[in-house]
């Protein structure tokens, strides 16, 4: 089997990338998806709030996915469902399914769009018994929204990421009693709108700077104990609180799904656990691109679509021989910035503007975002309020890029410290 472009992953990132590549002249495309249907994680996200940036209207997750599925179905893009990619060697993809058996698929270019997975109890070393009734928030979401199973009645949620907040509301609407949402950090890791819509509107308490220190239960979960934590994030003795419950949901972070990438020798970023990419969303391997949560965890699917569109368009440019593969300049995170995507840039490949995504490491007010090339200030942006839970988007124009000749640093600074 030979294709010009193989897209691994049929979620919003893969669909958007494949569709954009097709519209840019790539006609031999296949999407490989391990699930039985396209759409990825959006199929279980039945709440609204999707599509405000992409379609200028509010959609549910399945509606958003269906828009792209419909667009792809109107093209000649081939789709292989229920197909597992085993490995990638150079540009040969080893995959298997029940219909075709074992396959060697040759590609001229590849786009990786495998998404991410949830951290589990083992990843955070939670103490206590190991009864039933402990789920990741995403698993519980799938059970309720797609499989039709109710996971519990008396609920505590650890972690205030967006999935955890949304599941607090979902469980309440299904008749469960959500007793608490517990968050280790002194701030929520979810979008502010979700705190209001999912917790405040239903009088669900949020315990910031708290964590679970004990889990009790023989067969089914019976009780969890939480405690306040200090600045060192260690429990403070004497602040313990007990909650009798039969269900604990874990919303403790997402990890980009990169086993395939790692085994293929593609460079990863230790800060994000995602793939290192340049301005064209190309990885360290020639002709292999990446987009979406496999690069870094997004909080808006609209940003995933924007990124995947860029990957699809640049994969098409690569196949036409239009990308310059030399003279890259590093993009580094400076003060208060956790990471940047992309991590390097070739100014010659930028069409009209460079889009940089990043997150900060704490809650900040009245700061200025400074972009420097060496000692020269390229751009400044005032930020009245900026938080870790919201991914930030920075646009550097083509004209500003002309002033970049050495590594770029993006920092959050005091207003007075941003003088040119």
Nearest C-alpha neighbor of 37 from the set 136, 119, 142:
142
Judged against a pLDDT cut of 50, whether residue 415 lies above it is answered with yes
Judged against a pLDDT cut of 90, whether residue 77 lies above it is answered with yes
Q: How far is CA 61 from the centre of its chain?
A: 15
Q: What is the average per-residue pLDDT within 137-142?
A: 96
Assess contact for 402 and 383: CB atoms under 8 A.
no
How do residues 322-370 score in pLDDT, each as one tens digit? 998 888 999 999 999 999 999 999 999 998 899 999 999 999 999 999 9
CA distance 195 to 209: 16
How many C-beta neighbours within 10 Å does residue 62 have?
18
pLDDT confidence tier of residue 79, bands split at 50, 70 and 90 = very high
How do residues 243-301 score in pLDDT, each as one tens digit? 999 999 999 999 999 999 999 999 999 999 999 999 999 999 999 999 999 999 998 99
Quick one: pLDDT at residue 420? 39
DSSP state string for 160-176: -SHHHHHHHHHHHHTT-
pLDDT confidence tier of residue 166, bands split at 50, 70 and 90 = very high
Nearest C-alpha neighbor of 24 from the set 278, 286, 275, 289:
289
Region of residue 208 (phi > 0: left; psi between -120 and 50: alpha; otherwise: beta): beta
Judged against a pLDDT cut of 60, whether residue 419 lies above it is answered with no
The first and second tokens of residue 144, run together, are 């309720």
Region of residue 51 (phi > 0: left; psi between -120 and 50: alpha; otherwise: beta): left
Judged against a pLDDT cut of 50, whether residue 236 lies above it is answered with yes
The first and second tokens of residue 219, run together, are 């067969």
N-to-C CA span, the chain: 56
How do residues 185-199 score in pLDDT, each as one tens digit? 999 988 888 999 999
CA distance 201 to 214: 29
pLDDT confidence tier of residue 417, bands split at 50, 70 and 90 = very low
CA distance 112 to 101: 22
Q: Under 8 Å CB-to-CB from 37, ≥6 apart: which residues?
A: 43, 81
For residue 142, which phi and psi values (nearest 5 degrees)?
Answer: -65, -45
CA distance 94 to 148: 35
In the chain, % of residues over pLDDT 70? 99
Nearest C-alpha neighbor of 125 from the set 260, 271, 250:
250
CA distance 14 to 37: 13
More reliable by pLDDT, 404 or 153: 153
CA distance 217 to 126: 14
Is this prediction's pTM over 0.85? yes
Q: What is the average per-residue pLDDT within 38-49?
A: 95
CA distance 140 to 366: 39
C-alpha pair distances (Å), 394 with each of 43, 110, 320, 340, 356:
30, 27, 28, 10, 5
CA distance 343 to 122: 30
CA distance 230 to 61: 38
* 51 prior amide bond cis, ω within 30: no
Query: What is the widest separation between alpha-carbon atoms in the chain?
Result: 66
CA distance 303 to 31: 20
CA distance 354 to 373: 14
């Amino acid at each position: 089997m030979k294709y010009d472009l193989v897209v691994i992953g049929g979620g919003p990132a893969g669909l958007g990338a494949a569709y954009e590549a097709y519209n840019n002249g790539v006609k031999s495309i296949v999407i490989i998806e391990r699930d039985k249907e396209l759409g990825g994680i959006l199929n279980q996200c039945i709440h609204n709030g999707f599509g405000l940036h992409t379609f200028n209207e509010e959609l549910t997750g399945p509606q958003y996915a269906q828009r792209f599925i419909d667009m792809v179905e109107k093209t000649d893009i081939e789709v292989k469902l229920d197909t597992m990619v085993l490995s990638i060697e150079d540009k040969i993809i080893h995959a298997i399914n029940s219909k075709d058996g074992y396959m060697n698929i040759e590609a001229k270019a590849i786009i990786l769009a495998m998404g991410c997975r949830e951290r589990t109890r083992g990843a955070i070393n939670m103490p206590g018994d190991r009864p039933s009734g402990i789920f990741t928030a995403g698993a519980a979401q799938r059970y309720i929204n797609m499989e039709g199973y109710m996971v519990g009645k008396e609920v505590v949620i650890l972690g205030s990421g967006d999935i955890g907040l949304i599941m607090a509301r979902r469980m309440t609407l299904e008749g469960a009693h959500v007793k608490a949402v517990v968050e280790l950090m002194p701030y929520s890791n979810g979008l502010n709108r979700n705190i209001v819509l999912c917790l405040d509107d239903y009088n669900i308490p949020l315990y910031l700077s708290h964590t679970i220190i004990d889990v009790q239960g023989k067969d089914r979960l019976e009780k969890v104990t939480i405690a306040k934590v200090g600045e060192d994030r260690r429990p403070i003795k004497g602040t313990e609180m007990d909650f009798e419950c039969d269900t604990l949901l874990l919303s403790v972070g997402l990890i980009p799904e990169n086993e395939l990438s790692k085994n293929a020798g593609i460079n990863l970023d230790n800060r994000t656990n995602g793939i290192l990419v340049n301005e064209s969303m190309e990885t360290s391997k020639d002709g292999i691109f990446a987009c979406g949560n496999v690069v870094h965890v997004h909080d808006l699917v609209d940003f995933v679509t924007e990124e995947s569109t860029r990957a699809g368009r640049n994969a098409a440019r690569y196949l036409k021989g239009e990308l310059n593969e030399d003279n890259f300049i590093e993009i580094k995170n400076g003060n208060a910035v956790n990471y940047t995507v992309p991590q390097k840039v070739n100014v010659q490949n930028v069409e009209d503007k460079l889009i940089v995504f990043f997150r900060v490491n704490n809650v900040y007010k009245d700061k200025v975002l400074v972009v420097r090339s060496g000692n020269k200030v390229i751009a400044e942006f005032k930020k009245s309020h900026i938080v870790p839970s919201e991914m930030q988007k920075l646009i550097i124009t083509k004209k500003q890029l002309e002033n970049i000749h050495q590594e770029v640093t993006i920092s959050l600074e005091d207003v007075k410290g941003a003088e040119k």
